[in-house]
Chain A
Amino acid sequence: MTDAPSPRPGGAMVEFDGVGLRYGPDAEVLCDISFNLQPGSFYFLTGASGAGKTSLLKMLYLAQRPSRGIVRLFGEDLVNMPRQRLPGFRRRIGVVFQDFRLIPHLSARDNIALPLRIAGVSEEDLSGPVGEMLSWIGLGERADAHPATLSGGEQQRVAIARAVIARPQLLVADEPTGNVDPEMAMRLLGLFEALNRLGTTVVVATHDVHLISRIENAQMMRLEKGRLSDPTGALRYPPANRA
Chain B
Amino acid sequence: MIIPRVPAQHRRLLPDRRLSGPTPWVIAILMMLTLLAAAAGVGLARSANAIGSAIAGRVTVQIVTANPVTRAEQAAALRRAAAAQPFVLSARAVDREELQATLGQWFGSADGDDPVLNSLPLPALVDIDFVGANRNRQMQELRALVAAEAPGARIIPHAEWLGPVARLIGSLAWIAGGLVLLMTLASAAVVIMTARAALGTHFATIEMLHLIGATDRQITRLFQRRIAIDTAYGIALGSVVAAAILMLVGWQWAGITSGLAATASLGPTGWALLLALPLLAIALAALTARQTLLAALKKIL
Q: Which residues of A contact B (CB under 8 A)?
A: 1, 61-65, 83-84, 86-88, 90-91, 95, 101, 103, 105-106, 110, 113-115, 117-119, 123, 162
- Across the interface, which residues of A come within 8 angstroms of B210, CB to CB? 87, 90
> Could you list 14 further interchain pairs (A-B, Cβ under 8 angstroms) beyond the known A87-B214, A103-B205, A117-B7?
A61-B211, A62-B211, A64-B301, A83-B301, A90-B211, A95-B212, A101-B207, A103-B208, A114-B208, A114-B209, A115-B213, A117-B9, A118-B214, A119-B213
29 example contacts (A-B, Cβ-Cβ < 8 A) are as follows A1-B215, A62-B211, A65-B301, A84-B216, A86-B301, A87-B214, A87-B215, A88-B213, A90-B213, A91-B212, A91-B213, A95-B211, A95-B212, A101-B204, A101-B207, A103-B205, A103-B208, A105-B12, A105-B15, A105-B16, A106-B12, A106-B13, A113-B9, A114-B13, A114-B208, A114-B209, A115-B213, A118-B209, A118-B212
Cα A64 to Cα B216 with chains together (Å): 17
Complex partner residue of B213 from A84, A87, A110, CB under 8 angstroms? A87
A64 and B301 CA atoms in complex are apart in Å by 7
In the bound complex, residues from chain B placing their C-beta under 8 Å from that of A90 are 210-213
Contact A103 B13 (CB under 8 A): yes
* Cβ contacts under 8 Å, A1 to chain B: 215
Which B residues are in CB contact (< 8 Å) with A95?
211-212
B10 within 8 A of A: yes
Question: Please, which residues of chain A bring their CB within 8 A of the CB of B10?
Answer: 117
* Chain B residues within an 8 Å CB radius of A119: 213
Q: Does chain A have a CB within 8 A of B137? A: no
Query: Closest B-chain residue to A4, C-beta based?
Result: B213
B interface, CB within 8 angstroms of A: 7, 9-10, 12-13, 15-16, 204-205, 207-216, 218, 298, 301
- Contact: B301 with A63, CB < 8 Å? yes
Across-interface contacts of B215 in A (CB, < 8 A): 1, 84, 87
- The distance in angstroms between the C-alpha atoms of A110 and B210, with both chains bound, is 16
CB-CB nearest in chain B for A86: B301
Docked Cα-Cα span, A30 to B76, in Å, equals 105
A192 to chain B, nearest CB (A): 18
Report Cα–Cα, A53/B37, bound state, in Å: 60
> How near does chain B come to A177, taking the closest CB pair, in angstroms?
21
The answer, among B12, B13, B209, B301, for a CB contact under 8 Å with A62, is: B301
When chains A and B are docked, how far (Å) is the Cα of A101 from the Cα of B210?
12
* Across the A-B interface, the 4 shortest Cβ-Cβ residue pairs: A91-B213, A90-B213, A87-B213, A105-B15
Contact present for B301 and A115 (CB under 8 Å)? no
Interface hub of A101, A103, A113, A123 (most chain B Cβ within 10 A):
A103
